[in-house]
Structure 1
Amino acid sequence: MTSTSSLLRRIRTAARRRVPAGIQTALLRGAAGSHLRKGAGLRLSSYQRIAVLARTWKGPFSVQDLADSHLERFTSLLREAGIDYFVARSGNAYHHAVGIPARQRTETVALLEEHYTDRGYYLRNRNGYVLLSRNRLRKGRDADVLRIGEYTAGAHGSVVTGPAHGLSIEFWEEGSRVLKEPDGDSRLAELRVVAPESVLRESLVAPQLNPVCEVLPAEARKPATVTVGGATHPTLEAFTWDLATDIDFPIDAVYTWVDGDDEEWAAKRNRYLGGGTELNPDSVSRARYTSRDELRYSLRSLEMFAPFIRNIYIVTDGQCPSWLRTDHPRVCVVDHKEIFDDPSVLPVFNSHAIESQLHHIPGLAEHYLYLNDDVLLGRPVTADKFFHPNGIAKLNPSTYRFGLGPPSVEDQPVDAAAKQNSLLIGERFGKVPTTKFKHTPIPQRRSVLEELEREYPQVFAATAASRFRHPGDHSIPSSLHNYHALLTGRAVMGRLRYTYLNMADAEAVRKRTRELLANRNHDSFCVNDTTTPGDDTSARLVDAFFRDFFPSPSSFEK
């Protein structure tokens, strides 16, 4: 039954997306007049090709802050109305669950009718999320769970996230009451747990599955408190437990960044060119160092969609973006001199060299994500996209191969380095890597890199001393780490929905940015510029796309 209703919902959604945007907007404007009159900060917009009402978010945006704000508003109203509640564990990412005694359903529905109907909020029913009107609330008032939220937009640009990051209002029953109800047996049969009748009598019974249990016996339902977004809320003992499936270890983010337009840096680079070593032209292409403010927008994406990140390290050659708040408590700018074991090899203009030293960053967590500044997140992601609860990393293999044969100057530098890694891994494990990895945030284990450096000190030293990309380099964090971790049981293959913008193809950039903006259905994407196009069309398209896709300045910006 559930799968059938889910299929019907997808069919209806697909049909709605085929209706021209102008017609969708006109129909919504006619149906949402009362919402627009009563709801502050609402505007007509679209999300995943469907016309919606969206509320404007002011200031830096985080999906966690959004969910927390929904919880705070609703629970404040509950407290004012004298309605008992507790914060339950939610099975959904960046989404809160509020448990309310079933005996207070009538008062709760009345509160929702007064404060939430006809104000731009959405209610989930069998057709998906629909605008919450008095009529729809009355039809759904007997539901055991009411799931509400809103579409959220920045000060300008498109909607950044939908109502899934709101809250679930759950009406919990006393087990003794469930046992007495005429349909009690069928209700208990639907639970994912079997509890003896003697336990049920003293238990609270949940209306839907949660990460802990649907039946909370006396010892698990003792009153407790939990802090969410700086506010203290009542909860139950069981919902304060650290679960075996929780990821509670710190995860940092590390960026490498260069401002290729810095004249002093460019002059320094030019002084070292032409040293007599034969290089692939891509190794010294100016496109490799072009900055289009990608770091600014990548940091926005991190704050918006990955609030689990603890600290952010930005590794540079004595440079710092003019817009960056260096006093931010979560941001640290790291100079190459601070992490290179042998600073005498500096300066280097080779990402392979810089990457080989990242695990030397003081204070860096055991688990972290490595990102180039041209890698961005496209929608909310959770830590379990990158790591398992036991710390094992989730890798994202590409469908592309780096080729066979010995590394040579004719290879693209990334392929030559991958071939070098393959030779090393083949000798060590008797297994031959052939596959590239996607250009996504790369989950890293610091201990794996430290182990590799102990085993292959000459590889790390030679790569670190390689001033420009060279066929003898190894790509250490993006490939060697991954295969070594995989073959020593510290990584497995994962799955991240990803896409790639090739700046050399302006028409493809135009099409892909439109799709990304309209659908917002990729976890990550990369804006890669390895060759310089004949005009600036791609750059203008990407600049406009960034402003629309990430409309809110982050707290990392001045």
Structure 2
Amino acid sequence: MNQASKNLNTAIDIVYLWVNGNDGEWRAKREKYAQKLKATGNLSFAKFGNVEGRYRDNDELRFSLRALEKFFPEHGHIYIVTDGQVPDWFQSSDQITLVDHHQLIPHSALPTFDSGNIESYIHHIPGLSERYFYLNDDVFFGAPVCLENWFFEKGFFVSWSDEPEVIGNKLQAESTSLENACRLSKQWLQAKLNKSNQRTDSRVRKMDPHYQHTSRTFSHSPRPMLKSVMMEIERDAPELFERVRSTVFRTWNKPTIISDFVLRWALAHGLAKTIDHSHLYIATGQSLGAQSLKHLKKQFGSLDFFCINDTTDDAHDADPRLLEVRQILNALLPNSSYSEMVKSQDANAIEALKFKQPLGMAV
């Protein structure tokens, strides 16, 4: 039995990305680098790549952790990857590690404000379990977690979104990052399939010759991952990792790979399977956002997961749509998790929690 197989019996860790886009110091840094790139002519934002909703903190992480504790209490260690920030409600715990960007990403590549860049490093977190879930902070478990619906012996399950299929093969400036990610995946996998007939290197995992690309995008879900698979994908497609790791902001021609390419690569190599998870995607800025929140209230407890995507973009923080989200999450998930500081504690204690134990570079 190899080490990866042995590690399948360990607890499943959780990795979150989190940013407090309301923090004045962080906002000034973001603006500084946006202006710097604009001045050099090197800035090509992806569609919706630098709007306020991309970074605004609506306390989603607090409620996602509550959902995690409610529906998957047997999880392993939690890692929260941040840009030197700590939630003001955060309670130090042996079960949670805050990972600063500087502890994970080469200093020469910082700062970056692109989650697609940051998430490409998380499988290098020291001590991370072989099997883990990766979540953005706006993604929530919505029912008790049955691991057989997320992992199988050699891989993991993925689910499709309800979005329209992506049209065209070339990356397009007016498309979203996920749409371009779908196109990039198709280009790379088709090129590998064409070359596979000529390869004799037994060290390279062969693609399924019957693999067929679909232009559907993947759901906004908790991402079940295998660390060994991620390491193999990085060895197989280093140029794609280098590409997304060169970004400062989300860029249309360097789209995310974790939310598409990694999943399609695993499907094409027999390390992932599709499954129909029950899920709900809520875009708060769309006209149906309020109706979707009503559906969430009715279906909570029976949804495998849900996502509340802040698409109000440049709305003010007191926008009634954002307040409604907070009210509903408070009603559905009223109980504090062990990660939350008791109200009587001095808020200045936050500073004492900041990254005292450097993890060290693992890349």
Give the alignment's TM-score, normalised by structure 2: 0.80
1:442 partnered with 2:223: yes
Q: 1:359 to 1:471 in 2, by over 3 A?
A: same
Distance 2:166 2:145 in 1: 29
Distance 1:262 1:318 in 2: 11
Structure 2 match to 1:394? 157
Structure 2 match to 1:480? 261
Residues 449-494 of structure 1, C-alpha deviation per residue, up to 9 Å, x if partnerless?
Answer: 2112112222212211200111232422211111111121111112
Matched-pair contact (CA < 8 Å) for 2:145–2:304: yes
1:518 partnered with 2:283: no
Q: 1:557 to 1:433 in 2, by over 3 A?
A: same
Greater Cα offset, 406-415 or 371-380 = 406-415
Q: 1:291 to 1:257 in 2, by over 3 A?
A: same
Q: Is the partner of 2:258 in helix, strand or coil? A: helix
1:457 partnered with 2:238: yes
Gaps of 5+ in 2: 1-7, 195-211, 342-363
Q: Is the partner of 1:541 in helix, strand or coil? A: helix
Greater Cα offset, 533-542 or 460-469 = 533-542
Give the Å deviation of 1:271: 0.6
Structure 1 match to 2:321? 538
Distance 1:490 1:362 in 2: 23
Residues 57-106 of structure 1, C-alpha deviation per residue, up to 9 Å, x if partnerless?
Answer: xxxxxxxxxxxxxxxxxxxxxxxxxxxxxxxxxxxxxxxxxxxxxxxxxx
1:299 partnered with 2:79: no
Give the Å deviation of 1:377: 1.5
Name the amino acid aligned to 2:30: R
Residues 377-410 of structure 1, C-alpha deviation per residue, up to 9 Å, x if partnerless?
Answer: 222122122112x142011122432332310211
Structure 1 match to 2:350? none
Q: Is the partner of 2:217 in helix, strand or coil? A: strand
Distance 2:222 2:148 in 1: 13
Matched-pair contact (CA < 8 Å) for 1:459–1:474: no
Name the amino acid aligned to 1:396: S
Structure 2 match to 1:237? none
Q: 1:429 to 1:531 in 2, by over 3 A?
A: farther
Residues 127-177 of structure 1, C-alpha deviation per residue, up to 9 Å, x if partnerless?
Answer: xxxxxxxxxxxxxxxxxxxxxxxxxxxxxxxxxxxxxxxxxxxxxxxxxxx
Distance 2:334 2:193 in 1: 47
Matched-pair contact (CA < 8 Å) for 2:284–2:290: no
Q: How many residues align?
A: 308
Q: Is the partner of 2:27 in helix, strand or coil? A: helix
Residues 205-250 of structure 1, C-alpha deviation per residue, up to 9 Å, x if partnerless?
Answer: xxxxxxxxxxxxxxxxxxxxxxxxxxxxxxxxxxxxxxxxxx7443
Structure 1 or 2: more strand by fraction: 1
Name the amino acid aligned to 1:314: I
Structure 2 match to 1:338? 103
Give the Å deviation of 1:534: 5.7
Distance 1:321 1:289 in 2: 14
Distance 1:497 1:486 in 2: 20
Residues 96-120 of structure 1, C-alpha deviation per residue, up to 9 Å, x if partnerless?
Answer: xxxxxxxxxxxxxxxxxxxxxxxxx
Match of 1:314 among 80, 86, 90: 80
Q: Is the partner of 2:340 in helix, strand or coil? A: coil
Give the Å deviation of 1:550: 0.1
Match of 1:261 among 4, 8, 22: 22
Matched-pair contact (CA < 8 Å) for 1:308–1:382: no
Residues 332-364 of structure 1, C-alpha deviation per residue, up to 9 Å, x if partnerless?
Answer: 111111222x32010000111111111111111
Matched-pair contact (CA < 8 Å) for 1:425–1:433: no
Match of 2:167 among 394, 403, 416: 403
Distance 1:471 1:313 in 2: 28
Name the amino acid aligned to 1:517: K
Question: 1:134-533 maps to which residues of 2 (within 5 A)?
Answer: 248-274=9-35, 275=37, 276=41, 277-326=43-92, 328-340=93-105, 342-388=106-152, 390-400=153-163, 401-429=165-193, 431-505=212-286, 508-520=288-300, 521-532=302-313
Distance 1:280 1:264 in 2: 24
Q: 1:314 to 1:438 in 2, by over 3 A?
A: same
Distance 2:128 2:315 in 1: 41
Distance 2:121 2:251 in 1: 17
Matched-pair contact (CA < 8 Å) for 2:20–2:85: yes
Gaps of 5+ in 1: 1-246
Q: 1:405 to 1:489 in 2, by over 3 A?
A: closer
Give the Å deviation of 1:308: 3.0
Q: Is the partner of 1:283 in helix, strand or coil? A: coil
Identity %: 33
Matched-pair contact (CA < 8 Å) for 2:169–2:187: no
Give the alignment's TM-score, normalised by structure 1: 0.53
Distance 1:429 1:435 in 2: 20
Name the amino acid aligned to 1:265: W
Residues 257-303 of structure 1, C-alpha deviation per residue, up to 9 Å, x if partnerless?
Answer: 10000111110010111312232451111110011000000000000
Tell me which structure has the larger Cα radius of gyration.
1
Q: Is the partner of 1:394 in helix, strand or coil? A: strand
Give the Å deviation of 1:425: 1.6
Q: Is the partner of 2:247 in helix, strand or coil? A: coil
**Per chain length, whose mean CA-contact separation is higher, i.e. which structure has more relative contact order (CA < 8 Å, sep 6+)?**
2
Residues 490-512 of structure 1, C-alpha deviation per residue, up to 9 Å, x if partnerless?
Answer: 11112211001111136x33322
Residues 538-557 of structure 1, C-alpha deviation per residue, up to 9 Å, x if partnerless?
Answer: 11111110110001001111
Distance 1:266 1:251 in 2: 34
Q: 1:376 to 1:318 in 2, by over 3 A?
A: same
What do you get for the CA RMSD once the two structures are aligned? 1.8
Distance 1:416 1:263 in 2: 32
Q: 1:428 to 1:263 in 2, by over 3 A?
A: same
Matched-pair contact (CA < 8 Å) for 2:61–2:137: yes
